Structure 1
């Protein structure tokens, strides 16, 4: 991963954990707050940028493999998964890391590959039920 990646001009080019779909991410700012912009086809999602450090800290403390459990915002997240943590009132932001109402889910699909690209986590790449852990 080039060190100058992660900008609008040079986004991170990533693949979903099962390696079936490509998408791009970059760091930006919205309302004076650092965010991650995630573009999947024509869909644009936003995540709070601090999710990277927060998720890393939680995974490090957990020490074990954790199921990703990706789900759309409208569907419940399986308990004990990265997705459930990414929307839990008990996480450091007290709720959703996804910032666009209606598109706040899929945290467990799009953030783990970024963490892997940044050298912070190991992510499985099976057809389904993938897990991750902090490096």
Structure 2
């Protein structure tokens, strides 16, 4: 069995940046070439007795060429890094927002492609 050191570890790094809308702060100015930024937002969700947030079914990943948003005071934010969000259409909410450099995105694409290829082979082989 092959083991992968997937840049998805970066997505898991989101846990370090857990944020709620009530405690969010103004984002820092990113280095668009060499940076990675990820945050979890939990406002419409409730934690269970163990502190875990189980997100509703039906969410979809959305990839965007840049992040467009607003600060709490209405100021527009434009971040040119590739952006991956988990979209909760029912609540009109993005609980996961990940902004990454081109290099990070290419690495993620490569690792995902390799795993998808292996999974496809495994389902075809008897």
The reply to whether TM is greater than 0.5 is no
Q: Higher helix fraction: Structure 1 or Structure 2? A: 2
TM-score, L = length of structure 2 = 0.27
TM-score, L = length of structure 1 = 0.26
Of the two, which has the highest radius of gyration?
2
